[in-house]
Chains A and B, each alone.
Chain A
């Protein structure tokens, strides 16, 4: 025992010789540079502390900790294993990219963001790349008002922009290729900006001046980059060809990239009418676009154009169907698990849960049960590790509240941005039947509301209200809608019978007959265009109009 005691004393003595650790800093009552467990130089603790520093604006400390994390662990992953059966979320590359952007180190920030995107795709990493591109184009300066620099593509790299007062900006950067650089005033006049032998420059821009590349003789090339145009790249994530869209809007997530600055993304219909437009800037951009169209088969042409005039297109053939009428009493009952925040995020704001629930209420896709009634649920939800609530746990909540579905969301708040992943869990099976995500920069309260509204719309698109026809099929019923329409296994349908219209003596309809549910069916096998139904309640082999829960 004496040996053990001596060993322990030695251990404590050695431990007292370890390097001093930075003390957390408290600003406005909030501590930054903190970890949830005692700091032991584990990679996840460097990550957690780095994110904490970044949240407080202590960028040098954040950079140091995130680099220390990356020295120990080189991969971003949503479920990174710490020890045993413990997992956390780790986006060290991405968060380092965010810090480097703030520090004006765009090249390395882009590298880190791309690494993160390759290892574990996330909306925030896409946004960071978009922001980097915009910064390079001079559209937005870190910690300063947006500079009035023109889109110039990758030949021109703006490394740091600092507001110096009176609307003037101090700009430092470099020119990647041999070119001249000019400052263009609002009246079209321009002046040459000297370029050092190492291709760097430093310019002091007036409030109405922007930067542009110029030809060797000093004349301005409006596009900023001569040479043959290369078609930009366009990727779309959303409804596939022949997908039936219930309602008037189809949501797509897009990603565009080009060697030249991107100008815009437009969507047009088969008559070449423009039905959506998103202004773009930078060389790589991601975002969401809503396509509005009238019912019918629509051929949507997406076109992205860059500053060289190069064009890429993508075509989707969609079937827009009127949104099914649904008696509000027939809506699926859903409960909302309180929002969870991953360890590297600011805690969920007090109003976030209310906003989220309000958005779902406004969208009216579900009949939402008040989750605040269940204190146990709230407590357990807060135990969720790394902001990830297991679907099985969510299903338990739903069963307790007698809900058909549970909405589980993980919300990450950064400095001025917000990201949310939503999953819809089927309580009976614990399966995730739909998911959606959204990301946005938020500066005003209206941005937050718009973000939540878009999130609710994306969830509705993933799990729409459907109306169709049920017919007898042997001893079962068959629904004439399938996966293409958004039917998922376990989705329930009410078969309706419409009562006779009330007419006056002349035969004119005074009151349209109401639709009354006579049976409840559940989809147990879903094909592309049809689904097999099993009866849950009501009449056997009911046929007629069917509307989803």
Chain B
């Protein structure tokens, strides 16, 4: 029988793997509740709910779409990097990916109305990590027992949505809108991820330095997690109070995603002394689970200071107790299976942004900057590796800064933005459960928008 270190079970168990590892690698603002798309909004620190006046509006606040008088189309992609530093060492992973394609079409039938269609990469699971440990026990009389283990995991994939949005300006300046988002791999062609894990665990008895018994075991597993179905919504309101001030509100009701899991696992155990194969087991397991995403609401305000400057702020409230994973009749937190969803209180995020328009003779430049502070659900560190279940809910507090730049020529807007976030003492699947890490994330996003 292979003996694994207790924390390695977190990697080996596909059910936990899907939940526990998935939602710590989010890069869209750092919250497991996805936020909107586009480089312009990212450069504003994510404070875009009250602005929402371009082709990404339907991902932030669908009501803001009614500001558009002409159709717009936008597409964006980005570079995502995460760096963890803990007592065990450092881990870095990065990737390039497409983020969003959307089009917004305004029309007028009695009142100003707008339709929007978008594909958006909402949650990303790409990551890679590895661990190793070795313990040598002196049994006396020249005998030793060596327990060593190593694990490596590579994970790739995302959950995406296809969204249809509608908004209407019910009275001049006051608009309401809604976005319906369909989750599911059959709709989006990008709503599954694959996780490949490799584990090796040796337990070798030696006399006088010569192996005399024990086993060497390896386990390889491939887990596929696919969104079978899911439907979510974003409801928005947008009010142009006056020339200078606009207010926006966006609410995301709680929704669930039905997930299908498929695990193929092979375990091989070899006698350490003779090299004979003791066991070679293959198992294929299919299961399903349900992931509940929490209710959240964002209130935003944008203050326009003349034609050239805009200041915006978003405050987001999230009911984290609604963030839950249900499988085999048991409910746990996707953050950590030893924590109950109800252990989490409501969380907050604040985002600030500023942009300044610089009209030049050949191009209009718009530099931006932003700040953010977010509470993201996490757990405390376990006392040691034998008591990984002794953890409790807490919030990891991320702080971040963003910069961005738009260049507008004729009818094309080029955007680029970068966001850096940092949190201390984060406990997640990037580190052993009894350790915490300092986490840095970097997102660089580029976008192009066409104004028809």
Question: Complex formed: what's the CA distance from A74 to B451 in Å?
Answer: 27
Q: Is the CB of A41 within 8 A of B173?
A: yes
Q: Is the CB of A392 within 8 A of B362?
A: yes
Q: Is the CB of B307 within 8 A of A80?
A: yes
B286 at the interface (CB under 8 A from A): no
B178 at the interface (CB under 8 A from A): yes
Contacts of A10 in B (CB 8 A): 170
Q: Is the CB of A72 within 8 A of B243?
A: yes
Q: A7-B178, A15-B110, A83-B67 are in contact. Are A391 and B362 (CB under 8 A)?
A: yes
Q: Residue of A at shortest CB range from B111?
A: A15
B90, chain A: closest CB distance, angstroms: 41
From 258 to 296 in chain A, residues with beta carbon under 8 angstroms from any chain B beta carbon are none
Q: A7-B178, A15-B171 are in contact. Are A84 and B357 (CB under 8 A)?
A: no
A77 at the interface (CB under 8 A from B): yes
B93, chain A: closest CB distance, angstroms: 35
Q: A15-B171, A18-B171, A85-B406 are in contact. Are A391 and B357 (CB under 8 A)?
A: no
A481, chain B: closest CB distance, angstroms: 25
Contacts of A12 in B (CB 8 A): 110-111, 168, 170
A11, chain B: closest CB distance, angstroms: 4
Q: A79-B307, A392-B362, A392-B363 are in contact. Are A40 and B169 (CB under 8 A)?
A: yes
Q: Is the CB of A81 within 8 A of B409?
A: no
Q: Is the CB of B307 within 8 A of A11?
A: no
Contacts of B364 in A (CB 8 A): 85, 87
Contacts of A15 in B (CB 8 A): 110-111, 168-171
B439 at the interface (CB under 8 A from A): no
Q: A18-B172, A79-B359 are in contact. Are A11 and B111 (CB under 8 A)?
A: yes
B254, chain A: closest CB distance, angstroms: 15
B133 at the interface (CB under 8 A from A): no
A313 at the interface (CB under 8 A from B): no
Most chain B beta-carbon contacts within 10 A, residue among A41, A42, A43, A85: A85
Q: Which of A37, A40, A77, A431 contacts B172 (CB 8 A)?
A: A40
Question: Complex formed: what's the CA distance from A223 to B242 in Å?
Answer: 50
Contacts of A505 in B (CB 8 A): none
A432 at the interface (CB under 8 A from B): yes
B23 at the interface (CB under 8 A from A): no
Q: How many chain A residues have a CB neighbour from B under 8 Å? A: 39
From 266 to 309 in chain B, residues with beta carbon under 8 angstroms from any chain A beta carbon are 304, 306-308
Contacts of A14 in B (CB 8 A): 170-171
A393 at the interface (CB under 8 A from B): yes
Q: Which of A74, A85, A391 contacts B413 (CB 8 A)?
A: A85
Interface readout for B93-119 with A: 1 if CB under 8 Å, 0 if not?
A: 000000000000000101110000000
A373, chain B: closest CB distance, angstroms: 22
Q: Is the CB of A75 within 8 A of B307?
A: yes
Q: Is the CB of A84 within 8 A of B67?
A: yes
Q: Residue of B at shortest CB range from A393?
A: B410
Q: Which of A73, A77, A83 contacts B68 (CB 8 A)?
A: A83
A22, chain B: closest CB distance, angstroms: 15
Q: Is the CB of A392 within 8 A of B172?
A: no
Q: A11-B168, A41-B172 are in contact. Are A81 and B451 (CB under 8 A)?
A: no
Q: Residue of A at shortest CB range from B169?
A: A40
Q: Is the CB of A81 within 8 A of B361?
A: no
Q: Residue of A at shortest CB range from B304?
A: A81
B239 at the interface (CB under 8 A from A): no
Question: Complex formed: what's the CA distance from A86 to B69 in Å?
Answer: 10
Q: Which 4 A-B pairs have the closest CB atoms?
A: A41-B172, A11-B170, A38-B108, A15-B111
Please list 23 pairs of residues, one from A and one from B, whose beta carbons are closer than 8 Å in the complex, sorted by A's number.
Answer: A4-B178, A4-B233, A7-B176, A11-B111, A11-B168, A15-B111, A15-B169, A38-B108, A41-B173, A81-B307, A81-B357, A83-B67, A84-B54, A85-B54, A85-B408, A86-B70, A87-B307, A390-B362, A390-B363, A391-B361, A392-B363, A431-B361, A431-B362
A-B contact sample (8 more), CB < 8 A, given A18-B171, A85-B366, A85-B408: A4-B178, A11-B176, A18-B172, A73-B243, A79-B307, A81-B307, A82-B69, A390-B362
